[in-house]
């Protein structure tokens, strides 16, 4: 019988409310008010005959296969990274031939920048590879132990092993998605090198696509948008186009207005889908859930990848994603605009508050070229323009 990691007691019951396997101490401390506590032997009775249990080995095999593919990709990325490094060095050398000796010091700075990033990315790939190997070993060990369970408590122990294995599969799936999203490095040469040579600090910048800039507000301005024909105060509720959302659903349409499919649904509360936006690569869909105070990130099939909850994001409404992948969200009743990381896992910064003129913000748009944030607010005739830095 497996034991509780926190208390060392045997796992005895399953809590439906929290979807947890618990010991007696856990129940006494954390689950006294839960409505459904079921003893594991009762819950596991007949479990070995269920389709879900019988399909677990196949699910593990499929995940291990995905991990094998990911390990192979990681090893290919190591070779590709070195090729990228050589190619960038060649670009730097080619540019170097067109200019004079004043570039010697600039070249050293640029190559040093490249070397530092090379080290960081090589370490990142090495860490990813080690994590994949470790995850693969864990899944292999877990499924072997599960298939070797015997004795009078076989059903109960098999159920426990099944739940633990399912949790590990979920962790492995998150790992696969996280590593898949990473990219290699690129070099962007400065087109003004020759005419402005003496004013430069480097030959260019080596970019890491996995990093994201965190902004802060530099200034704020208010602009009236109400026109003479408007009979009532303006309710500025949107500043872009994307997927189509209902109160509880998210739909995919073609550009000519034809419904393709429903990709997400949440009927748990009155309004669970308020606004939506899409990442530049089209792989992530961001949805605001104002009644649950959450920003939800989905994949293109509608599976929830991550959620963000934060005191500065109460009743999230409007949101936008810039071409560079920066994500901005309005907190309506918290009177805030926050920046969230591209994976939709955490808040990076609170850019504007009530003291900056925020009053029930409903919509937001970011002009990346000028680092300008435009915010529309409920029942207001004005828009607020924030200059970021």
pLDDT interval class at 88 (50, 70, 90): confident
Check: CB of residue 38 under 8 Å from CB of residue 196: no
Alpha-carbon distance 65 to 71, whole Å?
10
pLDDT interval class at 364 (50, 70, 90): very high
With 80 as the cut, is the pLDDT of residue 235 above it?
no
What's residue 298's pLDDT? 93
226-239 burial, b at 16+ Cβ within 10 Å, e below that, comes to eeeeeeeebebeeb
Alpha-carbon distance 78 to 71, whole Å?
11
With 90 as the cut, is the pLDDT of residue 331 above it?
yes
Least confident window among 40-54, 140-154, 179-193? 179-193
With 90 as the cut, is the pLDDT of residue 308 above it?
yes
CATH architecture of the region 217-388: 6 Propeller (2.120)
Check: CB of residue 279 under 8 Å from CB of residue 297: no
Kindly list the domain boundaries of the chain, sorted by start residue.
52-207, 217-388
pLDDT interval class at 229 (50, 70, 90): low
CA 89 to centroid of chain Cα atoms:
33
- Span 59-65, mean pLDDT? 89
Highest mean pLDDT among 43-52, 159-168, 185-194: 159-168
Check: CB of residue 370 under 8 Å from CB of residue 325: no
What's residue 257's pLDDT? 64
Q: pLDDT: is 211 or 232 the higher one?
A: 232
Least confident window among 11-25, 66-80, 374-388? 11-25
What's residue 27's pLDDT? 64
With 90 as the cut, is the pLDDT of residue 338 above it?
yes
With 50 as the cut, is the pLDDT of residue 76 above it?
yes
With 90 as the cut, is the pLDDT of residue 185 above it?
no
With 90 as the cut, is the pLDDT of residue 319 above it?
yes
Q: Match 């990219």 to its residue by tokens.
A: 183
What's residue 241's pLDDT? 44
With 50 as the cut, is the pLDDT of residue 44 above it?
yes
Q: What are the pLDDT digits (tens) for 236-249?
A: 554 444 777 667 88
At 21, give phi and psi (nearest 5°).
-90, 130
- Span 73-102, mean pLDDT? 80
Check: CB of residue 164 under 8 Å from CB of residue 50: no
What's residue 86's pLDDT? 87
Check: CB of residue 39 under 8 Å from CB of residue 48: no
CA angle 281, 285, 291 (to 5 degrees): 160
| Torsion sign over Cα 278, 280, 283, 284 | negative
Percent of the chain predicted with pLDDT > 70: 79
**What kind and span of H or E run contains 239?**
none
What's residue 256's pLDDT? 62
What's residue 239's pLDDT? 46
Alpha-carbon distance 93 to 81, whole Å?
18
- Span 207-230, mean pLDDT? 68
What's residue 290's pLDDT? 92
With 90 as the cut, is the pLDDT of residue 196 above it?
no
Q: Which residues contact 336 (CB under 8 A, 6 or more apart)?
A: 312, 313, 314, 330, 350, 351, 352, 353, 354, 358, 361
Check: CB of residue 192 under 8 Å from CB of residue 326: no
What's residue 31's pLDDT? 61
Q: What are the pLDDT digits (tens) for 135-158?
A: 889 889 888 888 888 888 888 888
Q: What is the mean pLDDT of the chain?
A: 81
Alpha-carbon distance 144 to 221, whole Å?
64
What's residue 32's pLDDT? 60
At 223, give phi and psi (nearest 5°).
-130, 130
Nearest to 266 by CA among 240, 247, 243, 244: 247
CA 292 to centroid of chain Cα atoms:
18
Check: CB of residue 306 under 8 Å from CB of residue 322: no
- Span 99-106, mean pLDDT? 72
What's residue 296's pLDDT? 95
With 50 as the cut, is the pLDDT of residue 18 above it?
yes
> Which SS3 state, helix, strand or coil, does residue 60 take?
helix
Alpha-carbon distance 325 to 278, whole Å?
9
Nearest to 234 by CA among 243, 225, 244: 225
With 70 as the cut, is the pLDDT of residue 6 above it?
no
């Amino acid at each position: 019988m497996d034991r509780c990691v926190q208390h060392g007691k045997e796992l005895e019951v399953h809590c439906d409310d929290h979807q947890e396997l618990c010991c007696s101490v856990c129940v006494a401390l954390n689950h006294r008010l839960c409505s459904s506590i079921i003893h594991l032997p009762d819950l596991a009775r007949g479990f070995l005959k269920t389709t879900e249990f019988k399909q677990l080995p196949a699910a593990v095999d499929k995940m291990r296969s995905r991990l094998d593919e990911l390990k192979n990709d990681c090893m290919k990325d190591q070779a590709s990274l070195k090729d990228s490094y050589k190619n960038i060095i060649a670009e730097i050398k080619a540019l170097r031939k067109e200019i004079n000796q004043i570039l010697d010091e600039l070249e050293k700075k640029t190559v040093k920048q490249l070397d530092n990033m090379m080290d960081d990315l090589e370490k990142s790939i090495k860490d990813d590879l080690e994590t994949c190997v470790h995850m693969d070993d864990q899944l292999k060990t877990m499924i072997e132990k599960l298939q070797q369970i015997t004795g009078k408590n076989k059903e109960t122990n098999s159920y426990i092993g099944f739940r633990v294995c399912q949790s590990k599969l979920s962790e492995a799936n998150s790992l696969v998605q996280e590593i898949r999203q990473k990219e290699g490095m690129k070099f962007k040469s400065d087109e003004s090198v020759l005419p402005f040579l003496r004013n430069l600090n480097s030959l260019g910048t080596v970019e890491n696509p996995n990093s994201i800039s965190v902004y802060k507000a530099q200034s704020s301005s208010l602009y009236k948008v109400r026109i003479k024909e408007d009979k009532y105060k303006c309710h500025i509720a949107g500043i872009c186009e994307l997927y189509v959302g209902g109160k509880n659903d998210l739909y995919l349409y073609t550009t000519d207005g034809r419904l393709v499919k429903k990709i997400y649904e949440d009927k748990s509360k009155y309004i669970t889908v308020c606004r939506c936006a899409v990442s530049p690569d089209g792989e992530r869909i961001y949805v605001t859930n104002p009644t649950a105070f959450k920003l939800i990130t989905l994949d293109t099939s509608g599976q929830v990848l991550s959620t963000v909850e934060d005191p500065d994001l109460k009743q999230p409404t409007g949101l936008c994603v810039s071409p560079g992948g920066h994500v901005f969200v309005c907190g309506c009743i918290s009177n805030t605009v926050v920046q969230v990381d591209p994976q939709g896992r955490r808040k990076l910064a609170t850019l504007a508050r009530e003291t900056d003129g925020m009053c029930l913000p409903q919509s937001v748009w970011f002009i990346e070229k000028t680092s300008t944030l435009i915010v529309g607010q409920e029942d207001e005739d004005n828009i607020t323009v924030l200059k970021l830095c």
